[in-house]
Structures are given as C-alpha cells and as structure tokens.
Amino acid sequence: MPLTVITGAASGIGAATRLALHAAGHAVIGVDLRDAEVSADLSTAQGRAAAADALLTRCGGRLDHLVLCAGLGPHVEPASRVLAVNYFGAVQLLDALLPALRGGNQPSAVVVSSVASTQLDWDRNPLATVLDAGDEAAAQAVLQAAGERAGQLAYAASKNALTVAVRRRAAAWGAAGVRLNSVAPGAVETPLLQAGLADPRYGPAIESFKAPIPRRARSAEIAAVIAFLLGPQASYVHGAQLLVDGGVDAAARPTRF
C-alpha cells in the first residue's frame, strides 16, 4: 500500500486528492491546520519544521508520494502569509521530505501551483531575488511596499517562484530517483475560491476570470491529474507543469509555451 503525504488535506483540492488516492489504495497522512493527522501552520518557520519532523516520524523515514496542496489566495491577510504558505511552506517540505522519498517505492511528488504562475515571467517577478535567497523578511518588505497590490503580488509571485523551484530541482531529484512535477489549475470550485469571490477587492476579477471551457473546474478534476502524475502511467513525466485551466493559458499566450 503506497504511503502518501498530502498538505492542505482538509478541504478543496487536497481533500479531493485524498479521496482519489484512498480509492486507489493509498494510505494517506494529511497535513492541515485542523482535521488532519498532522496539525501544522505552514505560514511559520516553526510550523513547517514541526510538520516535517512529525511527518518523518509518522512515515518512519520512508515515503512513497508527496502532494503539496496547501495554499492561500490573494484575499488572505496579511499578504506575507500567502507568500509564506504558498512558497516557503511548499519548498521547505519538499526539501525536508526528499530523503524519505528516496527510500520509497517508485517515489514521486506533485506540487499544486497555479495558472497564475505563467502570467508573471521570472525575470519580471519583483520577489524573485529574495525568494531565491530564502529571505522571508525581505520578501515581507517588498509586499509592504506594494500597498493595495500586496495580495495579488504575493499570490502570483509565490506561484511563479514555486513552479521555478520545482523545475530547478528536476536534475537533483531525477538523480535521486524521485519524480517531481507540478499542476497549474485555473479557477476551481473550492472554499478558498468562494472566500475570494466574497472579497470586494478581488471578487469582481475572480468572477470575470473565464476559461475557454466556460465553467470552473471541480476539485476532483485536479485530483485526477495529480493521481495520474503520481502513478506508473506517468513514469517518464518529470520536471513538468501540467496546466489544468480549461484553456486559459493557451488563450492568453498561444505562442508561448
């Protein structure tokens, strides 16, 4: 029975992925603020370290799969918390759990990014340098200077940097025998999306965000792609980002891929 860790397992894409993997025969260790096997706040360095320690203890130092779903939207205050969970929380757990994955059976990991990651080029990402350096305090200063744009910047910049982090790890993870990929959803019907729609600052933009497939995704549709990437059918897929966005990126950037 494969052993899989899922962060953000209590709701949204994480909960749907948990259901899909349970159905496929996985044993799952969930991580979330509550209603999970490991309760942790990934917005703090202490919370991330505690989560990593608890997960390594629970899995006995051997893990087959990792799914990093935990994330926050642009409406969450303060904006530094969005950056902390979406980027630092994901990257720290990736690195902390790689040794356990190396001992797994056909090990693989999937990180949930966003189609927003493709809308901001790395060389135009104002947080690229400080995120690359792992400087959380400097990142917070950049967000403070952004004023009303802080939430939007935190979300787009964190997802762009997260995808870059996955791709940059492809060589080392491949050499370690662990596949690593990301998925990039568009708008997905989740409690997080509903909270964003209810925010007067971001609700209208979210409402107007339309895909060529004229509806929002269901969490189960993203979970199905994650399950595919973890499985043997994707055994030669590595360092890739699969867009699950209803065609948003293709419509916005048809000549860039």
Q: Does 155 participate in catalysis according to the annotation?
A: yes
Closest by CA to 106, choosing from 67, 65, 66, is: 65
> Are the beta carbons of 63 and 107 closer than 8 angstroms?
yes
> Are the beta carbons of 162 and 122 closer than 8 angstroms?
no
Structure tokens, 199: 């925010």
Find tokens 């509806």 and name the residue. 215
Tell me the Ramachandran region of residue 191: left when phi exceeds 0, alpha when psi lies from -120 to 50, beta otherwise: alpha
Find tokens 């939007």 and name the residue. 152
CA–CA dist 143, 82 (Å, integer):
11
Q: What 8-state DSSP symbol labels residue 244? A: E
Structure tokens, 188: 């997905």
- 181-197 in b/e form (b: 16+ CB < 10 A) is bbbbbbbbebebbeebb
From the candidates 87, 155, 202, 236, give the one annotated as an active-site residue.
Answer: 155
Closest by CA to 7, choosing from 32, 37, 40, 34, is: 32
Q: Annotated catalytic sites, by residue?
A: 155
